[in-house]
Amino acid sequence: MNSKILYGMAALIAGTSLQAQDQAAVQKEIELAREVIESYVETRQKIAKEESEWASYQELTERRISLYSDEVADLEAIIKEAEEQTTSAEREIAGIRSDIRVLRSATQVVTDSLPALEQKVRELYAYFPSPLKDKLTPIVQKLGAKNMPTSDRMALIIGVLNEVDKFNTDFTHITDEIKIGNETKLVDVLYLGVAVAYYADKEGKTGGMLVPAEKEWQMIEKDELAPAVHQAILYYTNEIKPAMMVDLPIEIKDLKIGN
């Protein structure tokens, strides 16, 4: 065979082989490019999805932040109001505690003065007229009772003084027995407060005065006063109308009560 033909066939065969190799390489490059493009598109899709999800999450987060900010503002307002109320309450408590200290101090002053006041009332009680003394005996017996609160002890003293004041601003009429010599007589007695009392029997023959004295009022016999005293008592009890002025003497005595 002609050498030229052989060379030509060899060249043709070689060229055909190279062309086939080039096409495979191109095809491979195309496949690689397609894979890269698909991967890129997929990546872009993922990025777009992530961006969309992130935008939604961001919006939700912003809403939550706004909601939490409002809640925080509300809580701060509540805390501020509570602090103001606490401050106000603390001031009130401080004021109350101050009042308590003042009251305790005043109570202590009263407590310290009670024994002397109670003793003074007992001394006065000894000079009370019998109707007043009979009424106040249960109260006076409680003076200075152990374990009694200060307020109750002071209430007893005030109660005694109130009864004395009421008795002293009014007339008091009683029927009583008095002993004259060896004889006991029933008489009407008219007390003019705690200053003086007048007595007379029903006949207007026996009469006199009672003046303050320790333990029992002193009786001053003055039968000459009996008619006038008897008449005054009849006026007072409305057994005789209209009432008229009755002249009766009065004796003023200086009394020293206690020390």
Give tens-digit pLDDT for 68-93. Answer: 678 778 888 888 887 777 788 888 88
Q: What's the average model confidence in pLDDT over 165-176?
A: 95
Q: Which residue has the higher pLDDT, 248 or 12?
A: 248
Q: Which of 190, 175, 178 is nearest to 246 (CA)?
A: 190
59-73, 88-102, 105-119, 163-177: segment of lowest average pLDDT: 59-73
Give tens-digit pLDDT for 230-244. Answer: 999 999 999 988 888
**Quick one: pLDDT at residue 92?**
82
Q: How far apart, in whole angstroms, are the C-alpha atoms of residue 133 and residue 214?
A: 12
Average pLDDT of the chain is 84
**Quick one: pLDDT at residue 243?**
80
Contacts of 87 (CB under 8 A, 6+ apart): none
Q: Where are the domains of the chain?
A: 1-127, 171-253
pTM score above 0.85: no
Report the SS3 class of residue 231. Answer: helix
Percent over 90 (pLDDT), the chain: 43
Q: What's the average model confidence in pLDDT over 211-218?
A: 93
